[in-house]
Structure 1
Amino acid sequence: MRRDVQVTAADIARLAGVGRAAVSNWRRRHADFPQPVGGTATSPAFSLAEIRAWLLSPGSPGSAGHDRELPSDEWLWQDLRAVAGDDDLADLIADLGAFLVYTHRRARDWAELAAGDDAAVAAALPERIREVVPAFPAVLPPDRVPLIRAVARLGTERGASGAFEFLRERYFETHSRRLHPTPREITELSLELAGLGAEVPTGPRVPGDAGPEPAGSRVRGVPGPESPGRRVRSVLDPVCGAGDHLLAALDRSSAVRVMGQEADPAVARLTAVRLALRGDDTDVRTGDSLRADAFPGETADAVVCNPPFNDRAWGYEELASDPRWEYGLPPRMESELAWVQHALAHLRPDGVAVLLMPPAVGNRRSGRRIRGQLLRRGALRAVIGLPAGAVPNVAVALNLWVLCRPAEPRTPGHVLMIDTSGRPGDYAEAAVAAWRRFDAGEELDEPGVSRTVPVIDLLDDEIDLTPARHLSTAAHLPPERVTGTRDRLADLLRTVAELTPAVRTEPRDLPLVPLSELLRRGMLTLHQQAPVRPGEETEVADGSAVLTAEDVVLDRPPSGRTPEHAVRREILTRPGDVAVPQVVRVPVARVLTRGGAVLGTHLHLLRPDPEALDADFLAGFLSGPANLRHYGPASSTGIRVDVRRAEVPLLPIEEQRAYGEAFRRLASFSAALRETAEVGENLIRLTADGLTHGGLQPPAGDDSSGPPHDVKKESRER
């Protein structure tokens, strides 16, 4: 039965494929626009049925007849809302996700079944899905088959995983309190510390990209092999939530087994489907891991999790005699220490656990006995202090605890203490580099950053595990580090001054046309890639370099390899191609300077005719903020880019080349400016540390220890 649900102005904008401003204009200018049926004066809500009728009526400014295709995915989402109440919506999405898993794994079977009528599909489909995903209803009403077919079409357009991610994101946009995601940078760092994922792509940070990391990103710039003797074949997250840690594990290795447990049944079902679409060996179960462990006796090579903090109702009374408390009964107010021991109980010998912890766990008096036992028995290997803001919406800077279960009893030696609070831009790289050196047996002592601390030094009355309190000071800071940084900053300041863009302040009207018009005129071609589906063959040789969407965002060479990034056909890049990611935080378009890589998925590849269209000119306008209104709506993962809708000026080729040169110079200026800021921040930190710890002194008298004279003079003149 279809319900008449309410939609907001943002929902209407998505349904019509326009911006919020257009909806406001329609309300003011069209007397027949539906009146609000709920909400507030500042955030009104409208009847979906009335909005649907108005948008689809002939002559409506929101109809598809105005040179615009209505987004089928948004209409499908509202159809789902109309057939299921809020309490049932998660189950409906999970069922549709199970269907997508079935189509993903048995595409031919669905193609044959879909040829029948709705009654035949309804009768046969449940049994076939349950062969792949047992948690699917035994009966499918025939009136749900049109929804099934619509979801199948969306899966064809986006891939099964992409289609489910869209539905899942829409659900959690309206039920955000059910989900507390772990930032991708944290999940990637945790997996690196746990030993999963030896092949980490290297590359510089993106010049000019101030947005968050894109989905799928890894810890950058830290190559190196797995730890000797440690091979991660299984990963457990006992508080998996949306499965962020486990999804990142599958991205790193398709062969790894992932296991998770989640207390919220709806979230657990959605996460189970999400992981099943990305890997063949996934297992997500429902329940509270402390009170009702769903994996009793099971061990994993790695345990990674973001447990709940300050949970007073974790089960202290009923779990007082639990055998997991090998290091001591966790105090009532120390739920985090219960999760630590739960993780250790599920580790195989020599396995590694990485837990995100509040800083108070390292110094509260109530937990010092357990902390002491963890140190004495060699279970605690490292404590890593993270920068403030590394985890959004958390008021304090959190820590990562790295623990292990030694294969044999051993005398504890040292614990690694790392403080990355002063390195918010590259804290993950710094932490991984220090951990690898420590794990290889090296002693570290980098003032203010990392130090291997003898366990005996920690076993005092407090047993304080706050990293910053155990690091060496900068009293012996090498002078060449400061002078070298100052010289580098001076050089960069000169470079920035030289690269400052020169433009004429003469406004002009640009004759804009949609990119689809340029495609129609043959001024460029558009290429897109698709992943290999089960049972399909690929024409791409194993080991070929693959250009990924992440490579384009990070402005680095191709880092992917087949078959990890298996694609359906071989589309090779060429110098002068323009690559545009399909999902971004901020608009990105890169001109490729090298060719020969296989085009990856989630990318638009534009190949302009150099006699008719300048590549840098095209990339500059595609990545400009003016085109944001032409792309798709923003979501929790970013902006979905429909590059055909972008608008580009139609100019003579000589004018295009002048614009292209300006855009190239602007990109160089942006890169230099960002590097200048990073070097300047480093100089500030080094100088402050040196002054406060005695390694540096203020200038005496007229001693000129600032920037070179010519730089100071240039600064005053500007």
Structure 2
Amino acid sequence: MSDSTATVSQARLAQLAGVARAAVTQWRTRHTEFPKPVDAGGDLRLADVIAWLDTRPVPANRRGSDEAAGVTYGDRVRRRLRAAEEPARDRVHELAALGTEFGGNAVRAEYLYLLLCLTYLRLYDHDRWSRLTRSVPPDGDPGMAWRLLRRVVALADESLAAPDVLSTSEAPSTRLRPRSFEPVRKVIALVAGLGPADFARLRAAYLRQVSIDGDVISTPRGVARIMVALLAGTPVGGDALIYDPFARFGELPAEFIRTAGDPAAMVGGNLAAVRVRAEHPDAAELRLAGMWLVASGTPAELAVTPAPTPVGATFVLTNPPFGKHVEDTWLRHCVDSLAENGRAVVLMPYSAGFAGKATMRRELVDQGALIAVVALPARLFSNTRVGVCIWLLRRPTGRPAAVRFVDARHRGRARGLHVEFDATDVAGIVAAVTAEDQAECSVLATPEEIQARGYSLHPPEYQDRMFTRSPADVARAELEALATKVGLPSYTTGSGWPGRPLNELCDVRSGVPHRSLTAAVARAGTAGVIVPVVHPRHLRSGVVEAADAPLAEAGSLEKYRLRTGDVLWVRTGAMGQAAMVGDAESGWLPHTNLLRLCVIDLDALDPAYLLAFLLQPAVLARIRERSVRSVTTSISKGVLGELVMPLPPLAAQRDILAALAALDDHAASLQRRLDAVRAAEPVFGQHLILRSAAQRRYSRRRGVKVQVRALQPGGNGENA
């Protein structure tokens, strides 16, 4: 490559440029400026042909996976010649080794950030990269090295057209303090040999590092693919604006650009151009988002503050922050930001579908703005186990509309501690969302059905296995089958009891706060009101069994003390245990990990009926669906209080309890008989074998009646 007189045959040129031989022939015959052959064999001067190829960008559909947007055929020829001349080098590995000169593992994230900025300039802004490399002196002091690192970030901000938006002084790489100038010069020299695949490797390494160091979250590739795929087929004409109001590291709009290579092939229309607006309050993350979007083929308009007015987006794609009751605010912002026929795909935690007030959920359903909700499995993210749903939204139509609920928590494959999606999972989820009728784990719920469930938008609650009212004929058939098997009395069936949320029927309270309980236990040896503390382990089969309960001084905890008829529920970990407080436990204290349900009106609700309801398997399943999953599974008093329970008249409640008690007694009687038979079997067998028993019985073997006589000691061994 260094020899200006080197030549190349047309066949070899086609190989280096990655085109067919016919393409080289077309270049030569159709373009008068194409270099002329230098000999009778048709060979071309290599330097001249590379210079000509530098004017010809590689089309998007012909670029390799390791080639960036804007790469030319000349770049491709140089790279392939260089690869042929020198042994393969892992420059990323060499760069990692140089990290010790910048502070080692203590600043690993900051060092990777520097490498990303340098590699971005090298691959996607040749002019600024050239200005940078020309400004690097052969030697310098640590102060010059630090100023050079600041210049790298400033050039990246200029390249992203955001020098006034992004703050160079707050970039992580400016916190580096190289020990000398030489490591900086070596890093820049190594980065000069990196390619697009190396940029992706460095970005992945950075995301892994910041997820370990803190609570930074990026959207997994599989989730991004599903969110983008849900937009396929949306009719769009003209230009399209992709808007991410909380861009994180740019993964969602970048996935749209990559998936849509030719955007018109993905959506139901012709897109003249695609614009991207990305917002994030953290300038360091926003800078990386901008770089990743350029690498994906579309520069973005960047902003650290939200758009002051609705942006009229064709598509909104976002994974906003969770918690502190901000979900409703994000949902409203996304809907308000849509163009007339736009669509929004928003990632939300499970709890957004049922926790807190239902005002926003009711508005989305009643105004026809919600199209579908898809529940994904937990453990998708590297540093949290919180389960998430995808919400598909549109501009309000002003009319209530049915909503598609898809329970896709069974999708995906475990990869170590996390769950990942493949192409089959993505296609299956999209098919479930677009199904015209009921499908596996996919239900189309009417506005009336959603209203009847208190505007819960959690997909598992709409699946057949959940606690739902059965039609009268189904209930009748099930009861008749049970009557045949276990001798149940006959029952009449109806259309179901009216439902009421628990927080209208009970005062749902938390147990004693951890710090207060610890102090109360420590005071148990002093004078005062000393009472036992009920722990989750003491709740067994609906009653409190607390012989080993620790003691605590309850003088200052009067409002937490239990009373007869309270129902206790385990709120964390292995949920599902419940019990009713009896006279013996009245005045005791509930542990921190318990919720306490105090019936408000005993003339409307029998506490025993409440306990029976909570212990129903379908109800337990529903509560677990609503639990929050992080390190452990837990449920808040607010979420439990929103659970709707059927409420018959008090007399009917007691009839139900009596029927259930009779069935329990029947089961207990059968169990005692079964236990007696099982206890007798080994004893009887022993006596038979030892010939210490004389008993006549009849048994059937192969349909033949046989009389057996066990012999006493001294018998003659005859069998009749």
- The normalised TM-score by structure 2 is 0.41
* Larger-Rg structure: 2
- The normalised TM-score by structure 1 is 0.41
Q: Which has the higher contact order (CA 8 A, sep 6+)?
A: 1
